[in-house]
Amino acid sequence: MNITTESRITRRSLLQVGALGAGLTLAEGLKLQAAGKADSGLRSAIFVFLEGGPSHQDTFDLKPEAASEYRGEFKPIDTSVAGVQICEQMPMLARDFGRYAIVRGVTHNLADHGIGKKYVLTGNLPTPVLQYPEYGSVVARQHPSARDLPTYVAIDESFVGPGYLGTQYSALTAEKPRHGFPYRVRGVTLDDGLTVARYGRQKQLLDDLDTAFRGFEKLDDEVRSLDRFSEQAYQIISSPRTRTAFDLSREKTSESDRFGKHEFGQTLLLACRLIEAGVHFVTVRLRPAEFDFDTHSNNFSKLRTLLPPFDRGLSALLQRLEDRGRLDSTSLFVTGEFGRTPRVNGGGGRDHWARAMCSLLAGGDVRGGTVVGASDATASAPSGDGFSPDDLAASFFQNTGIDPKTEFQTNVGRPVTLVRNGSVIQPLFA
C-alpha cells in the first residue's frame, strides 16, 4: 500500500502549483485548510511589516525639544489633526492622518531581529516549546476565502509560519511586483512553459490515469481525498478572478503612479487588488536588501530614501481602500520589530532599541486621527505603562473579527489561547 500511495502522489506532483511550506502542494494545503468554512462577509486585513526596525523618533514620535543628539535632523510637520505632528519626510501621511491611528509607547525587551520579529509577528512572547502562528495563518484558519481564491498571501515572503496551527495554514507566497516586468506568483504561475490550456490537458491525462488505478488502490482518508483538493487547486490556478487579481497591468497608469512605481508602492497596490478580489489576508514583508530600516549608520540619509516611497505607498493604500468602500471592512496594521536608540551614534545611525517604538492601525473600527500612548522626552521608554506587542496583536485580531482569547488545540491536544497576555487597546476604537 505504501508503494501505491507514493506512486499516486508522485503523479500528482506533476500538478504542483507551488509549495505551502513543509513540502505541501497547493492541493494538499487546500485539502487540509478545508476544516474551515468560507464566509465572504468577514473582515479582511493587510499587515505591513517594516523590516529592520524603523526609527520611531524620526517618523511618528519626534522629539523636537530634545537635545540634538536625540532629536536628529528631521523637523516635525503638522498633520490634519490639530496638535499632532509627524516627520517632514511624510507629508502625504500627515495630510491623511484622519484615516489611521498612531500607537506610541509600544515596548518590549527583545532587541534582536530574529526573536524580536517572532514576538511582533505573532503577538506572543517566543518560547522554545511552542511555535506560535503568524497573523495571516490565524485568519486563514478562522476566515477561509472562497474556493477559487487563496485565503492568505505573503509578499514577498513570510517569516514565522503557521506554527501550531499546521502547514495547511501557510501563506501562498508571491514575488514582489516590479513596474514594467511580467509578474509571477509562486503557487499560481505555471512553470515549465505551461499555459492554462496545456495545464488543463495535462490534468485530464492525470485524471484518466487516476481512474485507471483507482480500482485497486486502497488509500487512507488523507491521500484519498486529494482528488477533490487537486481539483480545487486547479480552480485557483485557472480562475480568472485569481489571475486577474495578480495582474497589475490592468491598473490605470494614474493609479500605478499614485502608489509610486517603486517596489513598495507596487506591492501595496497588489495587496489592494488581492483584498478587492476576495483574499482575506495579505502580508507585505519586503526583504531587507530592498527596503531595510536597520539604520545602524547614516540613519538620516537612508530614511530620506526610504520614507518618501513609504509615505506615498501607504497614503495611496489608505485612499484606495476608502475610495472603494473597503476601509471599514479591512483592518490594517503597520509596524517593525522594534525602534531605534534614543541617542544618535558616532556613525550617524541609531541602533536596536526595543524599549520604545510605535505602530499604526487603521480600518475597521479603528478611530482615525487618534494618537494612543506616549513616550518620554527622549523617546527612550513609554510615558506610563506603555503597550506590548501582545496588546497590539489583541487589538489587531479584534479589529479583524477574531476574539484574541480564542482557544486552539495543538497537534498534541494542548489548549492554547491565541493571544495569551495581551489586552485590547480600547482607546483605539470608537
Q: What is the pLDDT of residue 106?
A: 98
| Beta-strand runs (E) in 30-167 | 44-49, 76-78, 85-87, 100-106, 152-156
Parts of the chain with a pLDDT under 70: 1-41, 182-238, 288-290
CATH superfamily of 35-188+246-428: Alkaline Phosphatase, subunit A (3.40.720.10)
Tell me the C-alpha distance between 419 and 407, whole Å.
9
Tell me the C-alpha distance between 237 and 228, whole Å.
15
Q: What is the pLDDT of residue 48?
A: 97
pTM score, two decimals?
0.83
pLDDT in tens, 176-185: 887 777 666 6
Q: What is the pLDDT of residue 57?
A: 98
Tell me the C-alpha distance between 91 and 188, whole Å.
37
Q: What is the pLDDT of residue 396?
A: 98
Q: Could you tell me the residue ranges of all domains in the chain? A: 35-188+246-428
Residue/partner pairs of 35-42 with CB below 8 Å, 24 or more apart:
35/141, 35/168, 36/140, 36/141, 36/142, 36/143, 36/144, 37/144, 38/144, 38/145, 38/146, 38/147, 39/143, 39/144, 40/145, 40/146, 40/278, 42/143, 42/280, 42/401
